[in-house]
Structure 1
């Protein structure tokens, strides 16, 4: 291996690692706030990517209709919850968030698909569609189970993953799609060539991480999320609405997942089930970070991306095995460092 190949592999690994960092941060955020291991994070990636590719190609994505259907279901859940004390402002808020907003996005998507709008419009609409799906999914599936065990939440998460993957096959078919690039400019530095899409990946990833840091550090809602992550019961006692915290966490996670897919789809062909494997690699980074540390998760994601790039060069048939093997020493060290816990007796 010469220096040029080494630099190319590092560049490819950092690009992939940036995507995994976004997904890992989203997984850590959701778990810290809601205790949900978000297996469907990969489906958010797929939905965002294929919705963007469909809109850019002038096709109406089925995800926009799905957002309306599950939005109606979420509104029905809210009405049932408010059946004893009907409160007009809360009802209007629930209607606007769960019904009016998805319908408006559906109409805008139909218009954009007919007009073949620029990539920027398709990107925004794709983010809005997937964000609406993520928000309604939390209301329908996870909010009623908020006080159950982590195992129950995990089973529900697996069920949502399987349902969304099946719907993805229905909406987009078995054939892969690619979308238009966000930036077409190219920059050459020595033997390395940075494409516009690669620079978009780096720029958006850094901007999103900085934005999340400012959100958690400076805004009231960000501080409420941090408080909920530290102590859910304590947050409720001081007046923080943990339900709203869960909604914000899922909204951010679905948006991050959709954005990650949109960044990937111009680089490689994505299929309806590709997002699951991509989400698993972000999950590896989140596990290395202990599902609590954002900086460690970001660093671990870069390591995962670089290991994957070098594995593709040396042993492409075993690259997935090598990447997932990274979990073994981490889990072993964590199990050895964890305090001994006696099993409960019947």
Structure 2
């Protein structure tokens, strides 16, 4: 292996690591706020990529129907809860309207935009807008009533959610693979190493999103509320912060991050209905590097995962995924020795 090959592998590893960093931070965020190990994070990647691929073919994306199904189920759940708790009709109607207004607007805009054939950038924004409301709807449907459940119970439920979403993906998108056009279809030769514009876009977009998350958690009330709920949920409730709203916000951010990852990766990788599981697991491995508690640690772990995968594929392409997942074993042993075992309270 010479310097040129090593540089190419390192660039590929950093590019993939940037995508894994997004997923790892989403997993850490959701776990910190809701104690949910969200196994289905990779499905948001698939939904974002599939939406953009179908929009690029001037078709109405199947995620429109998926979002509609989730919305109808959430409205029915809200009605049942309202009837059981005997909520006033006006309060129940207001709650349902708040739940439905954003998804309905997004569905309507997408429906009108498809015949107009908007540019690729607009289609990417539509894809993000379609996937983003799925996070809060999933939280309402599945996790809101399990807020006090144990981490193990939430993990088992997350596995079930993953299989349901994969099955829905097969029904809606079919077994064939999808790819999207590249946003930047040029490349440059830097010191003998070819650098694609798409790789630069991935790194820049990841850096911008990380900066945006830092700004959100540091300078905005909603971000500081999320941090407060993550640190001490009981204390946050005492001072009037809503744990439910924090959970919905964390799932919305996870959906946006996952969809953005799918949009960025779909031009270089064929995406199938079940691709999200493998990608999500690599993000989970990166999150484990950080102990599911640190955003900088998740970023460092993701870059390490990307580099391990890239150099591992050079030595043994068939075993690259096994090498990545095997790397989590020494990390778990190291954390168990030096950090001990944290018990759930």
TM-score range, shorter chain: over 0.9
CA contact (8 A) 1:227 1:235 kept: yes
Number of the residue aligned with 1:28: 28
User: 1:96-149 CA deviation, whole Å, 9 max, x = no partner?
Assistant: 4x3232222222222333232211121111111111111111100011111111
Q: Tell me, yes or no, if structure 1 residue 126 matches structure 2 residue 127.
A: yes
Q: Tell me, yes or no, if structure 1 residue 72 matches structure 2 residue 85.
A: no
Q: Equivalent residues in 2 for 1:157-236 (5 A)? A: 157-236=158-237
TM-score w.r.t. structure 2 length?
Answer: 0.95
**Aligned equivalents of 2:307 and 2:341: distance in 1?**
35
CA contact (8 A) 1:64 1:102 kept: no
Q: Tell me, yes or no, if structure 1 residue 9 matches structure 2 residue 9.
A: yes
CA contact (8 A) 1:57 1:116 kept: no
How far the C-alpha of 1:93 sits from its partner, in A, is 4.9
Relative to structure 1, the CA distance from residue 108 to residue 215 in structure 2 (aligned partners, 3 Å threshold; closer, same or farther) is same
User: 1:307-336 CA deviation, whole Å, 9 max, x = no partner?
Assistant: 100011111111111101111111112222
**Aligned equivalents of 1:143 and 1:248: distance in 2?**
12
SS of 2:158's partner is helix
User: 1:242-284 CA deviation, whole Å, 9 max, x = no partner?
Assistant: 0000000000001000000000001111111111101100000
Consecutive unaligned residues of structure 2, counting only runs of 5 or more, are none
Number of the residue aligned with 1:145: 146
User: 1:144-197 CA deviation, whole Å, 9 max, x = no partner?
Assistant: 111111111111111110010011111111111101112234333221222221
SS of 1:67's partner is helix
Q: How many residues align?
A: 341
Number of the residue aligned with 1:260: 261
Number of the residue aligned with 1:91: 93
How far the C-alpha of 1:72 sits from its partner, in A, is 2.0
User: 1:217-239 CA deviation, whole Å, 9 max, x = no partner?
Assistant: 00001001001111111111111
SS of 2:194's partner is strand
Consecutive unaligned residues of structure 1, counting only runs of 5 or more, are none
Cα root mean square deviation, aligned:
1.7
Moved more, 58-67 or 295-304: 58-67
Relative to structure 1, the CA distance from residue 302 to residue 112 in structure 2 (aligned partners, 3 Å threshold; closer, same or farther) is same
**Aligned equivalents of 1:193 and 1:223: distance in 2?**
42
How far the C-alpha of 1:34 sits from its partner, in A, is 0.2
